[in-house]
Amino acid sequence: MKKHEHILLAHGSGGRMTSELVESVFLPALRNPYLAPLSDSAVLEELPPGRPALTTDAFVVDPLVFAGGNLGKLAVCGTVNDLAMAGARPAWLTLAVILEEGLETGTLETLVESAAAAAREAGVQLVAGDTKVVPRGKGDGAFAVTSGLGVVPPGRELVDGRIRPGDAILVSGSLGDHGATILAARHGLESATLRSDCAPLGGLVERVLASGAAVRSMHDPTRGGLATVCNEVAGRSGTRLVLDEESVPVRPEVRATCELLGLDPLYLACEGRVVLWVAAEDAERALEAMRDHPLGAGAVRIGTVEASTNGYAPVVMHTRSGGDRPIDVLSGLDLPRIC
């Protein structure tokens, strides 16, 4: 079987060269009993009891490979995490890629191997895929879209409507690592310590839920960061969220990158962090459960839910100097192609 050094348009034709690409690059990394890349659909086992959850995400990150991850790992983690946030146990994933003619086959192999490794870590199987190729100058290396099917076990309900004044707001680790890493790379500001937090959160989430803590809802602060997630949650739950500046964890290298680029870490994307809303009396239990897991070692409480002020400053930061600063939703151009 002939392997080309670069992706050619014919690799997306659906004919012999598409098969060769699938067999030489995708199947060696992803092979499993359900994978049906050349068939029409993957036909699976019956799902365990519960409500199915379905999600999709497109990934157009630039650069394709960055400290701590790459497009392939990100595409798997992003979708696994979207399922986990809904309380769903991720079961099956699909992966579609849109490649630009001329992409190095070695780069594609790196992306696919990382996707496979992330899927193994998350305990999910990639069961269906598709590859398309667009001419040089009509794409940008590679784009990826993953979709995920999971099951929310009976009795589990994580929705923002359950959030009540008095609840604690927790985060599983430092904020903005992914966003700062991508933006630093784009500006030639790489540092030895800056590294994306990109990781699959299913295991961490199951650990917290198994602790018995009354978790109301959770979200991963991706595009738009903590600030955007908090504004969405405040809107949907009809509450006010008060964050404590002193407690919000931001690594010094992330803070330094933000200062250089004129950014606020509260708006930077994470790809391996979860923000949780938990009954106040269970906050410590939830934090301990998270800290028992490698991905939750830096878990802390960052704020408290208060009663709504009827839409006036629904999210505020209690600052080090003792004031309250309103935290608005991201608007304007901001941060394209972060994921």
Give the C-alpha separation, 8 to 198, whole Å: 30
For its own copies, the closer CB: 321 or 331: 331
Q: How far is the CB of 239 from its own copies (least distance, A)?
A: 17
Does 2 bind its own copies (CB under 8 A)? Our answer is no
Q: How far is the CB of 46 from its own copies (least distance, A)?
A: 6
Among 155, 252, 262, 332, the residue binding its own copies under the rule CB under 8 A is 332
Size of the site for its own copies (CB under 8 A): 82
For its own copies, the closer CB: 86 or 302: 86
Q: How far is the CB of 247 from its own copies (least distance, A)?
A: 24
Does 149 bind its own copies (CB under 8 A)? Our answer is yes
CB atoms within 10 A of CB 259: 10
Among 26, 59, 66, 277, the residue binding its own copies under the rule CB under 8 A is 59
Q: How far is the CB of 100 from its own copies (least distance, A)?
A: 9
Tokens of 41: 């659909």
Region 261-280 residues binding its own copies, contact defined as CB under 8 A:
267, 269
Q: Which of 248, 224, 260, 241 is nearest to 339 (CA)?
A: 224
Give the C-alpha separation, 62 to 71, whole Å: 9
Does 48 bind its own copies (CB under 8 A)? Our answer is no
Q: Which of these segments, 93-101, 102-110, 248-256, 316-324, binds its own copies (CB under 8 A)?
A: 93-101
Give the C-alpha separation, 147 to 128, whole Å: 10
Region 61-90 residues binding its own copies, contact defined as CB under 8 A:
81-83, 85-86, 88
Does 43 bind its own copies (CB under 8 A)? Our answer is yes
Give the C-alpha separation, 318 to 322, whole Å: 6
For its own copies, the closer CB: 217 or 257: 217
DSSP 18: H
For residue 178, the SS3 value is helix
C-alpha 128: how far from its chain's center? 20
CA atoms within 13 Å, Cβ hemisphere of 153: 6
Does 51 bind its own copies (CB under 8 A)? Our answer is yes
Phi/psi of residue 206, each to 5°? -60, -35
Burial class (CB within 10 angstroms; exposed 0-12, middle 13-18, buried 19+) of 191 = middle
Does 42 bind its own copies (CB under 8 A)? Our answer is yes
Give the C-alpha separation, 62 to 80, whole Å: 21
Q: How far is the CB of 45 from its own copies (least distance, A)?
A: 7
Region 279-308 residues binding its own copies, contact defined as CB under 8 A:
none
Region 153-212 residues binding its own copies, contact defined as CB under 8 A:
none
Q: Which of 219, 206, 122 is nearest to 175 (CA)?
A: 219
DSSP 191: -
Among 132, 207, 293, 318, the residue binding its own copies under the rule CB under 8 A is 132
Among 39, 246, 294, 312, the residue binding its own copies under the rule CB under 8 A is 39
For its own copies, the closer CB: 97 or 243: 97
User: Could you give the string, one character per residue 223-242, with x where binding to its own copies holds by CB under 8 A and - elsewhere?
Assistant: xx---x---x----------
Angle of the 71-85 helix axis to the 202-210 helix axis, nearest 10: 20
